[in-house]
Structure 1
Amino acid sequence: MNTTSPVLLLIYNRPAHTEQVMAQLREAEPPKLFVAADGPRTDQPDDAERCERARDVATHVDWDCNVHTLFRDENLGCKKAVSSAITWFFDHVEEGIILEDDCVPHCTFFPYCSHLLERYRGDERVMVVSGNNFQPARRSYDASYYFSAYSHCWGWATWKQSWEHYNGDLETWSELREKEWLQGWLGSEAIAQYWKSIFDRVARGDIDSWAYAWTFSCWTQHGLSVLPSKNLVTNIGFGAHATHTNAKDGETGHLSTYPMLFPMEDPANVVRNYAADEYTAHSHFGIKTGLRRWVDRHTPELIKRAARSIIGGSYGY
């Protein structure tokens, strides 16, 4: 399905992964394609050749398209390479879709993003359009998407006006960390403590992540993310050449994709889905909230009580 939105493709040294994403881009035929590539690492003998092959794959465009490239000679690392590439992208466009070389979207991801980029253009309450849904299959929705605090970035879209809030060095964190702002935004002391630890490490430079800095930037603006009612992107980047993902990430990254149905149904109100965010905090980030702690602590007792009830012929407590 074609898209009218420009696309930024972030690549590095994985030509086979890049080809899978390019196959989907050929179906979507974006009118503008921006390709940004970090430079090879000097301590990896095969990096230069792999980076060159990935660049060849990403620029092999056989549809009517304006192609722009930003190819680094030196390795900048994940945080600087990605964030500077996104800034470069928005030096040229007002809004667009962002894909990394291991994020393979369903073909309906592109019109989904285009619809939402148009619908929430200029709406400062919404800062991200994500293609990810990590919720349990049984969860029901009132529309084609919902609103979340979490800006999942395995295939996403945003606007220049939103990206202008990107605070890569978390300059304001030292002031905000002593306030109750984070707990007030997230609604849980346990979740706030988890993210306080993350932001501390990012601010110290212990984590080379643009994504955590982007999450912080969105939250300081009380910006919400749009997440689809079904997963639209699968992450194939788990393996020998992965840098920032691990086996646990693969549990959500390898989720199947499903088609978005059109015309899309928009929610009646821009209201965050707290139940979905609670599930994300526990299942995706491993945070034990108050309810989850209680369940974990009482699980042995609950199992015994359930067993006695079942033996007694009743499923009640």
Structure 2
Amino acid sequence: MNTNLPLSLDNVALPEKLPPLVIIAFTRPELIKEVLTGVSQQLLLPQQIIAFVDGARKASDEPLISQCINLLEEFSSQIPVKIIARSQNLGCDKNIILAFTEVLSEYDSLIHLNDDIVPNRFFYDRMCRLLEAYRHHQEVFSISSYASLPEELDKSINSDFILSKRVFDWGFGIWADRWHDIDLVNRPAQYNPFGGFYNIPATIQTKLTLVNQFWLEHNNQTDWVITITIAALYKNKIHIIPTTSFIRNIGFEHPDSKTYKGKEPQWANARYDEFARPDSLPSSLELVDILKKSLNEVEFVRYLSAQNGLWLSPSAVWSLLWRTRGLYHKFLFLKLFITRIPVMLRRLRNGLPV
């Protein structure tokens, strides 16, 4: 147990100057209206909201963007709202990265809600206290209000928050020094300091990030959450996440959702509790063993093999063969490479990178 660590959020004093609440919006006024209702019901109200509204992609976006701006302007009668309306469309990821960089050049921390994340009434209070609790613990990179726990995780966890190697942005907080340390604003879109996706350390948590990075690289896509997860992992940072969510995502099935356009999956809000007021904190900054343990070579290759459409490029398989011990393990990676050659050939015929 680290005696310098607080064990209860209730015992962590709030700062005199509260961090700004940063809201990212675009073309979903019906959703941001619900988010603002949730903000208005907070036990502790923010002193300042800073809203970044992305620019239009097409003419039909403009009235929806105007509705979002009008809602934010109306809400400023309750809490001061500074609105930054982008003059052109930056896209979700670039808008967020620039927004965080701009805000954290002025403030020492921030709390973030997207326009589809509705907080329960304890959200802002708990997040402010979390930022204070871990402000001087540099190994902690971010905080979250969203609970996503691997099924294998021991059910006997005895605190309301645990340590994580993955970033969860559904109700997110970060400090200026941590954000500027990874310097995402000056990084390429699929930034991966490990080099190939197969070099990312694989655990029961980070194996998901590893595969997501594979698809980002090969489909030339961006996802700021995956990128900061990998950047923080490279610097051996950890994140504080709850065991019960105190936010809920309402963005499923919306036509303008970036990632989740379909029906709400069962896992998405499974751990949400409208009345959750998490308090107890972990007694150390050591990951529990099951989250710390790396996948062995058999587990790793089986996980990759289970990903439909994933392939190993010649450089990837060469790297894996070079570092793999034992002929049987080498055979498994070589088998995956050979069985997925047709996938590579189809991509090459379609002019896509492999």
TM-score in terms of structure 1 length: 0.76
Percent identical among aligned pairs is: 17
Q: Deviation above 6 Å: which 4+ runs of structure 1?
A: 290-293
Relative distance call for 1:156 and 1:269 in structure 2 (3 A) is same
**2:192 equivalent to 1:177:** no
Aligned counterpart, 1:227: 241
Question: What secondary structure is seen at the aligned counterpart in 2 of 1:225?
Answer: strand
Contact kept? 1:11, 1:38, Cα under 8 Å: yes
Aligned counterpart, 2:174: 158
Question: What secondary structure is seen at the aligned counterpart in 2 of 1:212?
Answer: helix
Please report how far the alpha carbon of residue 62 of structure 1 lies from its aligned counterpart in structure 2 after TM superposition: 5.2
**2:30 equivalent to 1:30:** no
Relative distance call for 1:261 and 1:210 in structure 2 (3 A) is closer
Question: What secondary structure is seen at the aligned counterpart in 2 of 1:34?
Answer: strand
Please report how far the alpha carbon of residue 241 of structure 1 lies from its aligned counterpart in structure 2 after TM superposition: 2.4
Please report how far the alpha carbon of residue 261 of structure 1 lies from its aligned counterpart in structure 2 after TM superposition: 3.5
Aligned counterpart, 2:28: 14
TM-score in terms of structure 2 length: 0.68
Question: What secondary structure is seen at the aligned counterpart in 2 of 1:112?
Answer: helix
Please report how far the alpha carbon of residue 172 of structure 1 lies from its aligned counterpart in structure 2 after TM superposition: 6.7
Relative distance call for 1:146 and 1:170 in structure 2 (3 A) is same
Q: How far apart, CA to CA, are the structure 2 residues paired with 1:254 and 1:209?
A: 21
**2:290 equivalent to 1:272:** no
Q: How far apart, CA to CA, are the structure 1 residues paired with 2:241 and 2:107?
A: 23
Q: Which consecutive unaligned segments of at least 5 residues does structure 2 have?
A: 1-13, 307-354
Please report how far the alpha carbon of residue 26 of structure 1 lies from its aligned counterpart in structure 2 after TM superposition: 1.2
Contact kept? 1:202, 1:212, Cα under 8 Å: no
Tell me which amino acid in the other structure corresponds to 1:169.
P
Tell me which amino acid in the other structure corresponds to 1:110.
Y
Question: What secondary structure is seen at the aligned counterpart in 2 of 1:68?
Answer: strand
Aligned counterpart, 1:85: 99
Out of 214, 221, 227, the position equivalent to 1:207 is 221
Q: How far apart, CA to CA, are the structure 1 residues paired with 2:142 and 2:79?
A: 25
Contact kept? 2:21, 2:50, Cα under 8 Å: yes
Tell me which amino acid in the other structure corresponds to 2:56.
P
**2:136 equivalent to 1:122:** yes
Q: How far apart, CA to CA, are the structure 2 residues paired with 1:153 and 1:52?
A: 26
Please report how far the alpha carbon of residue 276 of structure 1 lies from its aligned counterpart in structure 2 after TM superposition: 6.1
Please report how far the alpha carbon of residue 60 of structure 1 lies from its aligned counterpart in structure 2 after TM superposition: 2.1
Tell me which amino acid in the other structure corresponds to 1:177.
G
- Give the aligned length: 277
Contact kept? 2:72, 2:83, Cα under 8 Å: no
Question: What secondary structure is seen at the aligned counterpart in 2 of 1:49?
Answer: helix
**2:251 equivalent to 1:245:** no
Relative distance call for 1:105 and 1:52 in structure 2 (3 A) is same
Contact kept? 2:190, 2:221, Cα under 8 Å: no
Out of 46, 60, 80, the position equivalent to 1:46 is 60
Relative distance call for 1:166 and 1:140 in structure 2 (3 A) is farther
Contact kept? 1:130, 1:227, Cα under 8 Å: yes
Contact kept? 1:77, 1:208, Cα under 8 Å: no
Relative distance call for 1:208 and 1:248 in structure 2 (3 A) is farther
Contact kept? 2:198, 2:210, Cα under 8 Å: no
Q: How far apart, CA to CA, are the structure 1 residues paired with 2:195 and 2:263?
A: 28
Q: How far apart, CA to CA, are the structure 2 residues paired with 1:233 and 1:106?
A: 6
Q: CA RMSD in A?
A: 3.3
Relative distance call for 1:62 and 1:41 in structure 2 (3 A) is closer
Q: Which consecutive unaligned segments of at least 5 residues does structure 1 have?
A: 282-287, 297-317
Question: What secondary structure is seen at the aligned counterpart in 2 of 1:96?
Answer: strand
Q: How far apart, CA to CA, are the structure 1 residues paired with 2:256 and 2:190?
A: 32
Contact kept? 2:190, 2:222, Cα under 8 Å: no
Tell me which amino acid in the other structure corresponds to 2:37.
A
Tell me which amino acid in the other structure corresponds to 1:251.
Q
Q: How far apart, CA to CA, are the structure 1 residues paired with 2:20 and 2:250?
A: 23
Q: How far apart, CA to CA, are the structure 2 residues paired with 1:291 and 1:277?
A: 19
Aligned counterpart, 1:307: none
Tell me which amino acid in the other structure corresponds to 2:33.
E
**2:79 equivalent to 1:60:** no
Q: How far apart, CA to CA, are the structure 2 residues paired with 1:39 and 1:178?
A: 33
